[in-house]
Structure 1
Amino acid sequence: MKKILLLLSVLSLNQITAQTFTEPLPIPPTVTGTVFNLNVNESTYQFKPGNITNTYGVNADYLGPTLIVNAGDFITLNVINNLSVTTTMHWHGMHVPAVDDGGPHSVINPGETWSPDFEVKNKASVYWYHPHTMGLTNYQASMGAAGLIYVKDAEESALNLPRTYGVDDIPLVIQTKSFDANNQIQISSNMDNVSMVNGEISPYVDAPAQMVRFRALNASSSRTLNIGTDDNRTLYQISSDGGLLENPVPVTRILLSNGERAEFLVDLTGETVGNTFQFKSYMSEMPSNIEGGAGSAGHPNPLFGTDWSFMEVKVIAQTPSAITALPGTMTTLTPFLEGDASVTRPMELSSNAKINGVSMDMNVINEVIELGDTEIWTITNVTPIAHPFHIHDVQFYILDRDNGGGPVAPSATESGLKDTVLVQSGEIVRVIAKFEDYADPVIPYMYHCHNLIHEDNGMMGQFTVVDSSLATSEVLSESIRIYPNPSFDYVTIESSEANNFQNIDLFDISGKKIMTFLEGTKTLNISQLQSGLYFLKIKTSKGELVKKIIKS
């Protein structure tokens, strides 16, 4: 076994050291507007010489377009499933209603279209979309059904920052993969030894001799990245997952776990045209408990502890109206106050893919949160390996980290809004978030490890956000009657007082919306439904209510 691993290590290292960076970095096309049509397709892609590789793509053979949206816009995303299997589509980091979040309950069957619509409430930053299919997230995302989302807002637009897409504002979807002898992607392989950016193995990118902005996403299944350059030049981080940092933060390394994003500037002003440098992942500098570090726990990998380059930068001539200076103060961060938290919620990450001692069950709501509450989540990792922890619906602030020596405030690069945080072995991380705008007692949001292998193995839980105001829970419940219930074919909704029905949605027990009835409808035809339990969400002029019905 040791000889086999040694041989694999030598082969992998030979592959890394033999990089030639001959192919240009593909720049994903952009789509703008308020209506987006996303076709999820089965396709093929030429990653390596020889056999072509079976892939998934969104409006493309591999990966998808960058969606550019404006804060405050109401957008519609039509997701068309052209696959032969079910899928979903999650808007990672976006603050949206649970029904539009695209978790495992929002199943899109082959040939169907799912059309969530919502207001863009996030701050300017880079987010992403990917499937969240129960047990198949890693497979479908690894096959290529993923892409970036750029949110723009007035605050960011007023800053003197590079934003010419693909020229001085460069998207980086970074992944590592393993291929078999036929050049097919090996899912859930621990022997990933190929790095790629935007679907290209070891690409180069032309960057003008000025300030250049890179927007990086770690879209790998399980490997954490430790980004730097081969000449250790300064990177100025300007944004984390959910928005701008207060000031550019000078660093030489950016630790980026699965699902995390970071925007950073590289100052190429005055560089000689033709100069080159490489972006690397410095795995030898990472602790062994982090996936990819030297001697990583859990399983062997020929690249663990190895520093490898994933892209070359070639300096080209400066562009007209070039940005050549760093911005000053970019925003003012106003973290939620610890004293405003009404709940402290424990989250223990344990072995066998469990959170708080249980694995994911689609039929169990693990946590119920009150709309408007500010909560502290205490995330404790009792496993021997690090886990990137992601919470849907919200952007949070990190309060502190405790590796056993007492709580330590977050670094400057982690001082901004986050939706994913790496929790190392034995570490306790406290985060604070406010759950606002959206309540739904039926459809849950997710929280989970964003190591996609762990997620698919069940390291995930569900929470609902509820509004227990008097108008919704008591007055409406007493004034609305549904009969007959159970029913074989039709049910009637009746109100005892002036209470206009504005919208009625029907959900199955998994939380999937299956029917919407027109305004004013009072008699519902359920004859075509399978027998079982369903939920009616009734929106009226006086509030919103959820009622159970049984199809006999």
Structure 2
Amino acid sequence: MKKSFLTIGVFISGIALAQNPLFIPPALTGTTFNLTVQNGVTQFYPSVNTPTYGINGPLLAPTLILNKFDWVTMNVTNTLVGNGNSTTMHWHGLHLPAMADGGPHQVIAQNTTWSPTFQVLNTAGTFWYHPHGEGKTDLHVSKGLAGMIIIKDNVEAAITLPRTYGVDDFPVIAQTKSFDILNQIAISTGYDTVPMVNGIIDPYLDAPAQVIRLRLLNGSSGRSFLFGLSTNANFHLVANDGGLLDTTVTLNRLLLSNGERAEILVDLTGLQGDTVFLMNYGSEIQHGIMGADSVGDGFNQVPDYYNNFLNGADFNLLQINVVAQNGNPVTTIPTTLAALNPWSESSATVNRRFELDTLSEMFTMPNLAEGPFGINRKFFDMDSINEVVYLNDIEIWTLHNKTMVAHPFHIHDVQFYILDINGGPVPAHQRGQKDVVLVMPGDSLRFITKFEDFADDSVPFMYHCHLLHHEDDGMMGSFVVIDTSGTGVPEMATLFTTDVYPNPASAEFTLSMNGFSPGGTAIVTVYNAIGQRVFSVSCTEPSLKIDTRSWNSGVYALTVSQDGNTSSRKILVRH
């Protein structure tokens, strides 16, 4: 691999040479969170206004601090202006009902508020939230819609760890962005040549001379980061995507792909007055990973990849100026953390295989480095369900990457444990709970998970590549969780119910909604047995007649939602 080092002054061409204090997003606590998605203006460069998006501000979003087992309500109001600027809000990594997940099916229209309520069931850890609209994720995240979620619980509280937000416990949202000649944010380009942390170019952080906690999030659209310290000193991994590990893992490099999180402890004891840089060691990133010096081969290339001087280069992300200890310093590194309880391979009852592959839309050969990409040779379809999962099943998923680029695979709803990579052992730093895993070109990887607590036979969860332009271009699938035993937790606590009659139906049936909010609107959707949407309408009355004469005989799933409440029914059509 090529070895190069870029200073900040080089890669921003002499603009914004001065150091800038790291922005620490404000923390919100409680059980009701009011989040306004809005347009903003940010000066990434002096005297240059760049249009951005933010939540409760012009760029990025507040950090949400949640407590395990609390019931919380998220009031997300979309005030974005511009044609067709609907959005969604996905709570990445959280285990919650499908209706509250914030995937592409939970659209927040302009000038409306979406208010999901759910119980916090995840263990303590670092998560995040961002839009997930169909074909819009890259645009909305790149323009600034992303924020961190911190979950606290009693297990984490009993461990001696830095946990004073903004004092010894810091959010680090690492991103690279592309700017056009007018210094406006651009997407779907290989020129993401501007690194930033928490929306700040060339940032510095004054950190105390003690053990500090960095909550790392790769919030980039397409670049992986290989984190390390400029001194090559060790740091200590205590948590990854789903929360605490069982024991601390000591490292001097940590690769995070898009959407992955990690919590590391950095011991600055005795270093007062020194400066340490958190760096990306791009020269050490493995071939095939976005951010390495090369991806693909002579015939399969990512456009403009080799013109981006960040690829394969080492560069600073965050300057850490070590200052005096605070009044209550943590000066030790814990070794024992939280108990993990992975499922045994023998307990799995279902095995599924997912091919990460290319699809050719024309009569041309697909590009194995640039796509278009699919999963099991299918593009995402809003009106189809790709997989049907049963509540409380333990499953093993095999991911096989048949392309020339590494794909970060993310699944909604659950955390998983990696079983093996190409039949070999899992590195220590990847043995905890995960919801994103990077699958290298040619690799096969297996993970095990359990689909518990939440079932909804008509509202799907997603799985997809977290390279955002891959996701937007269709490298995504959906699954529903079906409860056949009646033991699942209801999707929402509600008095909102539905009746359908006659059932079975032949020519038509009547839908009656109990608990309908007068003056409100309900969304009525019907899917057939293979997950295709056959009917959808907005209804302003508590009853509705639906014509079934053009439908094939068979079983259909009807879902009705209003004001965050949902009710589902099975309908049998006979002709």
Same fold (TM over 0.5): yes
Question: Normalized against structure 1, the TM-score is what?
Answer: 0.87
Q: 2:524 pairs with 497, 504, 507, which one?
A: 507
Asked if 1:388 corresponds to 2:408, the answer is yes
Q: What is the letter of the counterpart of residue 482 of structure 1?
A: Y
Q: 1:443 pairs with 428, 453, 459, which one?
A: 459
Q: What is the letter of the counterpart of residue 284 of structure 2?
A: E
Distance in 2, matches of 1:411 and 1:17, equals 39
Structure 2 unaligned regions, length at least 5: 359-371, 489-497, 528-532, 552-556, 562-566
Instruction: Encode CA deviations 1:139-169: one digit per residue, 9 max, x unaligned.
Output: 0111111100000000001111001111100
Asked if 1:378 corresponds to 2:401, the answer is no
Instruction: Identify the residue that residue 461 of structure 1 maps to in structure 2.
Output: 477
Instruction: Encode CA deviations 1:432-477: one digit per residue, 9 max, x unaligned.
Output: 00000000000000000000010001000000000123799xxxxx
Distance in 2, matches of 1:178 and 1:470, equals 49
Asked if 1:15 corresponds to 2:26, the answer is no
Asked if 1:308 corresponds to 2:324, the answer is no
Report the alpha carbon displacement of residue 64 of structure 1 after superposing the two structures with TM. Answer: 0.3
Q: What is the letter of the counterpart of residue 78 of structure 2?
A: N
- Where does 1:473-488 land on structure 2 (aligned, <5 Å)? 481-483=500-502
Query: CA 1:27–1:492 in 2, change beyond 3 Å: closer, same or farther?
Result: closer
Instruction: Identify the residue that residue 286 of structure 2 maps to in structure 1.
Output: 287
Q: What is the letter of the counterpart of residue 423 of structure 1?
A: V
Instruction: Identify the residue that residue 243 of structure 2 maps to in structure 1.
Output: 243
Q: What is the letter of the counterpart of residue 229 of structure 2?
A: T
For the Cα contact (< 8 Å) 1:368–1:464, is it kept in 2? yes
Instruction: Identify the residue that residue 264 of structure 2 maps to in structure 1.
Output: 264
- Where does 1:226-375 land on structure 2 (aligned, <5 Å)? 226-271=226-271, 273-297=272-296, 298-299=301-302, 300=305, 301-351=308-358, 352-375=372-395
Two-structure CA RMSD over aligned residues (Å): 3.1
Query: CA 1:13–1:509 in 2, change beyond 3 Å: closer, same or farther?
Result: farther
Instruction: Identify the residue that residue 369 of structure 2 maps to in structure 1.
Output: none
Q: Secondary structure at the match of 1:141?
A: helix
Report the alpha carbon displacement of residue 43 of structure 1 after superposing the two structures with TM. Answer: 1.0
Instruction: Identify the residue that residue 496 of structure 1 maps to in structure 2.
Output: none
For the Cα contact (< 8 Å) 1:88–1:132, is it kept in 2? yes
Report the alpha carbon displacement of residue 17 of structure 1 after superposing the two structures with TM. Answer: 9.3
Query: CA 1:75–1:10 in 2, change beyond 3 Å: closer, same or farther?
Result: closer
Instruction: Identify the residue that residue 75 of structure 2 maps to in structure 1.
Output: 78
Instruction: Identify the residue that residue 50 of structure 2 maps to in structure 1.
Output: 53
Report the alpha carbon displacement of residue 506 of structure 1 after superposing the two structures with TM. Answer: 5.0
Instruction: Identify the residue that residue 133 of structure 1 maps to in structure 2.
Output: 133
Distance in 2, matches of 1:12 and 1:488, equals 67
Instruction: Identify the residue that residue 104 of structure 1 maps to in structure 2.
Output: 104
Instruction: Identify the residue that residue 427 of structure 1 maps to in structure 2.
Output: 443
Structure 1 unaligned regions, length at least 5: 1-8, 473-478, 494-500, 518-522, 539-543
Q: What is the letter of the counterpart of residue 281 of structure 1?
A: N
Q: Secondary structure at the match of 2:204?
A: strand
Distance in 1, matches of 2:108 and 2:276, equals 44
Identity %: 45
Q: Secondary structure at the match of 2:469?
A: helix
Distance in 1, matches of 2:401 and 2:544, equals 46
Question: Normalized against structure 2, the TM-score is what?
Answer: 0.84
Query: CA 1:506–1:369 in 2, change beyond 3 Å: closer, same or farther?
Result: same
Report the alpha carbon displacement of residue 394 of structure 1 after superposing the two structures with TM. Answer: 0.2
Instruction: Encode CA deviations 1:343-371: one digit per residue, 9 max, x unaligned.
Output: 11001100221100111011110000000
Distance in 1, matches of 2:507 and 2:60, equals 45
Distance in 2, matches of 1:205 and 1:442, equals 47
Query: CA 1:208–1:513 in 2, change beyond 3 Å: closer, same or farther?
Result: farther
Q: Secondary structure at the match of 2:44?
A: coil
Distance in 1, matches of 2:310 and 2:89, equals 31
Report the alpha carbon displacement of residue 49 of structure 1 after superposing the two structures with TM. Answer: 2.1
Instruction: Encode CA deviations 1:214-267: one digit per residue, 9 max, x unaligned.
Output: 001000000000000111111101000001011211100110000000000000
Q: What is the letter of the counterpart of residue 293 of structure 2?
A: A
Report the alpha carbon displacement of residue 284 of structure 1 after superposing the two structures with TM. Answer: 0.8
